[in-house]
Amino acid sequence: MARTEIVKMDERGRVLIPIFARDALSIGPDTSLLLLVDQEQKNVVLTPITEKARLATIKVVLPDVPGALAKAAQFMATRGVDIIMSESRTLSRGKTAEWNVVADLSQAKATPKKIAEQIVRRGFATTASARDIKEI
């Protein structure tokens, strides 16, 4: 069950995560959190990263047709890419879509850049780019 609570930022830019949320997510002082800022939507998402992870963002432009995203996701899964969060949207109805992924590549044998190159070369996407976020 989701619970909502309003919190405030202090004068130093800090936000206290309420104890109910820390308990529900099993997070503590040494837990790493992935911070995703969406400037267009004006929102912030925090996701606990509790295991050793090699994080990357991958941006994919693919055909806006049924099944295209599923095929791209399956391709990444076979390469050891563990998707932590993703967002997709249509850029041009029936023509192109965009898929933004935050993933853990600790089980992947390839670099983020190589995965982006492969997804285009295999025909799942028209363009793709990737960058490392940080190894924790």
pLDDT value, residue 10:
95
The closest of 123, 113, 33, 49 to 82, measured between CA atoms, is 49
Asked whether residue 87 is domain-assigned, the answer is: yes
Asked whether residue 15 is domain-assigned, the answer is: no
Residue 55: both structure tokens together = 């994080």
Residue ranges making up the domain that contains 114: 54-135
Count structural domains, the chain.
1
Q: What is the pLDDT along the chain (136 residues), one digit of tens a residue?
A: 788 889 999 999 999 999 999 999 889 988 888 888 888 889 888 888 866 788 999 999 999 999 999 999 999 999 999 999 899 999 999 999 999 999 999 999 999 999 999 999 999 999 999 999 865 5
Q: Indicate the pTM of the whole model.
A: 0.74
Within 8 A by CB and 6+ apart from 24, the residues are: 3
Tell me, what CATH number does 118's domain have?
A: 3.30.70.260
Of the CA atoms within 13 Å of residue 61, those in its CB half-sphere come to 8
pLDDT value, residue 60:
97
To the nearest 10°, report the CA torsion of 116, 121, 122, 124.
60
The CA-based angle 62-65-70, given to 5 degrees, is: 70
Asked whether residue 45 is domain-assigned, the answer is: no
pLDDT value, residue 32:
85
Asked whether residue 72 is domain-assigned, the answer is: yes
The closest of 101, 18, 25 to 58, measured between CA atoms, is 101
Asked whether residue 113 is domain-assigned, the answer is: yes
Asked whether residue 9 is domain-assigned, the answer is: no
Asked whether residue 68 is domain-assigned, the answer is: yes
Asked whether residue 65 is domain-assigned, the answer is: yes
